[in-house]
Amino acid sequence: MLILVRHGESEANAKGLLLGRTDASLTEKGRAQAASVRQLLRHPVGAVRSSPLSRARDTAVLLDLAPEIGIDERWVEVDYGEYECQPLKDVPADVWLQWRTDPGFRPEGGETLAEVDQRVAVACAELFAQDGMGARSGDADVVVVSHVTPIKAAVAWALGADAGLSWRLHLQTASVTRIGWNAGAPVLHGFNEVAPGR
């Protein structure tokens, strides 16, 4: 099983900022959220991968799993370009409309959602091939700690959907998404799970 964990709340999340590649630290609440994810991991973990950004790496450390954490750049958050660290409410309505309707929309200096989908699809396919998840579904899970946009892209990959799906999904901080493998194809087993009492 591929277990995708969104990082805990960061300082920029708490301020309502559009957070992409900026390396924001976890808040105390975010650290507690990250630690709470451990109880959602039900099977042995064979590998842990993380985005290079500290909010993801720190979440991976707080999961307190045995395998060494491997960094994979493909799981980094989308690059919001000129809108990076802007308050969500300050992004113009026409820009939101472009993002929602055109997966090829690129903010100045940024990245398209289609590009995120492509890099994440390659990463997912490699994980299932390299770690043999398709052949050994009962064996150890692979945990990837990432961000909202790449995790939504992985869900789109599993469902055979395009980047437009991401606008129809809500993903909480420190949540778990599960993707398995059945009859040669990925299968979504769970989405946006959070620890009880959070």
Check if the beta carbon of residue 53 is closer than 8 Å to that of residue 78. no
Chain centroid offset of residue 126 CA: 16
Catalytic residue (one of 7, 84, 111, 147): 7
DSSP state of 7: P
> Is 170 a residue of the active site?
no
Identified catalytic residue from 9, 77, 84, 111: 77
Coil, helix or strand at residue 19: coil
Separation in Å, CA 174 to CA 3, 58, 96, 148: 12, 12, 25, 10
- DSSP code of residue 193: E
β pairing state of 176-182 and 2-6: antiparallel
Annotated catalytic, 111?
no
- End-to-end alpha-carbon separation of the chain, Å? 24
Catalytic residues: 7, 77
